[in-house]
Structure 1
């Protein structure tokens, strides 16, 4: 999640009314963070004391990278009572969606209905080291995402959350609406409003609104209240 471009974060500024999208309203919604190996030593007690309710933690990337910080970060978040989940940074050019979903599941990306585990996240965004869309056509990219998503759902009973930007999604999937009825959306946009969303989505479940702040990592909001966040972890 460190590869979002300024172009993506300044994408179309159309307000999304179904999310409390102003800076002033953010304190009323569950706040979260997402972290990776860039934040190896998170003080989770301080994070909890600062009012954070949930965390997403990087587990894997492609089929060759397992975060050495994942276990300690995940355990730390668990021990202080946060609702937490794992995310996978996709490399659609290196292997199939199913292969990467299985790699993610094998290294911390699973889900269980314990009330504290969020569905795994497919982080699908700008290529950090090559062509923006990883050399895939829009239809091939949609097929790759479906392969990942369906594999994850078949193993866990939950569809993964999709993390992306509207700019990347529009460019690289042709603004596909194929996932709006199944996969929760986590949109990244660092601005005072969320802006336009990918096709089919009336609102977003999570919003990454800043890449820094009073807590480690990126800063996030859940679209709902604390009870809604708990229901999402339970799968209801």
Structure 2
């Protein structure tokens, strides 16, 4: 596979929880969006009970039930990993290493109001056991600008350091668990929001943020925009035997989230040397 080159600087880890505020009854707007972070009925069915509970692939994790392992490429062509959030609590990283996992992404932040209380154990624990690790941000584009949320992410664990074991922070942009699927934004506005986040992250770290999404959401909410396919690595969600048609004209995927059993399963599209190159920039 091809790999983009990245450079940048480390950002200090912030560990304090951001105040969410008291829950208020939400008002449904004409486009179906809500004015607060009340989870929708669908989100509650998927374990999202309050603001901050959203996690990578929250819809796919419950609606796509195939547990068949995807076809395995040549052993030296892929690297196995996982992604985690507060739902996993304290992770047994030694067990994950012994299961063959060699990289991990941990949810750091959501919107500009939430930090993962298990972040330190998950992010540092994966690193300490020998994995290449990274952090991700769950975007809520209706809350604040892309620049604002990128800055919040960077201040609370989303930074990057050229230590050979830290991946660039990832942007999780997908179905809205708190209201309208596309957060009440037009396709053009959504693309502009993503660009604002990506540009801010790169200006601060020198790295192009990987984008986690899926074909359905990306098509609905960005008009299947091709604005990022030559700069930002694609992390595609598809629970099937192959990644299938890629969104946004990306010529290849960098990471594939292919299952949620027994924890979110990810596969890097390359051997360990390419994963290390992504970490090193």
TM value normalised by structure 2: 0.76
In structure 2, the CA distance between the partners of 1:167 and 1:37, relative to structure 1 (3 Å rule), is same
Query: How far 1:2 moved relative to its partner?
Result: 4.4
Report Cα offsets for 1:128-153 as digits up to 9, x if no partner.
01000000000000000000000000
Distance 1:228 1:95 in 2: 35
Conserved in 2, the CA contact under 8 Å of 1:8 and 1:165? Answer: no
The unaligned stretches of length 5 or more in structure 2 are: 1-55
**Of 166, 169, 175, which aligns to 1:126?**
175
Alignment partner, residue 99 of structure 2: 50
Question: 1:32 touches 1:54 (CA, 8 Å); kept in 2?
Answer: yes
Q: Distance in 2 between matches of 1:197 and 1:7?
A: 21
Q: Find the aligned partners of 2:61 and 2:94 in 1 and give their Cα distance.
A: 32
**1:140-176 CA-partner distances (Å, limit 9, x unpaired):** 0000000000000000000110000011000000000
1:32 and 2:81 aligned? yes
Q: 1:100 aligns with which of 134, 145, 149?
A: 149
Q: Deviations over 1:30-73 (max 9, x none)?
A: 10000000101211111111111100000000000000000111
Indicate if the aligned counterparts of 1:206 and 1:221 stay in contact, CA closer than 8 A. yes
Counterpart for residue 126 of structure 2: 77
Does 1:205 find its partner at 2:254? yes
Q: Which residue of 1 is the match for residue 15 of structure 2?
A: none
| Match in the other structure for 2:273 | 227
- Helix, strand or coil: the match of 1:74? helix
Aligned CA RMSD, in angstroms, stands at: 1.8
Q: For residue 4 of structure 1, what is the aligned residue in structure 2?
A: 59
Go from structure 1 to structure 2 and tell me whether the alpha carbon gap of 1:183 and 1:41 turns closer, same or farther (over 3 Å shift): same
Between structures 1 and 2, the one with greater strand share: 1
Higher mean alpha-carbon deviation, 24-33 vs 165-174, is at 24-33
TM-score when scaled to structure 1? 0.90
Tell me if the contact between 2:61 and 2:260 (Cα under 8 Å) persists in the aligned partners: no
Whole-angstrom distance in 2 between the partners of 1:197 and 1:113: 29
Deviation per residue, 1:75-133 (Å, 9 max, x gap): 11111110000000000000000000000000000011110010100000000010000
SS of aligned partner of 2:220: helix
- Are 2:245 and 1:196 equivalent residues in the alignment? yes
Task: Tell me, yes or no, if the aligned pair for 1:26 and 1:221 is still in contact at 8 Å.
Answer: no
Residue 158 of structure 1 corresponds to which residue in structure 2? Answer: 207
CA displacement at 1:198 relative to structure 2: 1.2
Residues 9 and 188 in structure 1, CA contact (< 8 A), matched pair in contact too: no
Q: Which residue of 2 aligns with 1:15?
A: none
- Is the Cα contact below 8 Å between 1:54 and 1:84 reproduced in 2? yes
Structure with higher Rg: it is 2
How many residue pairs match? The answer is 222
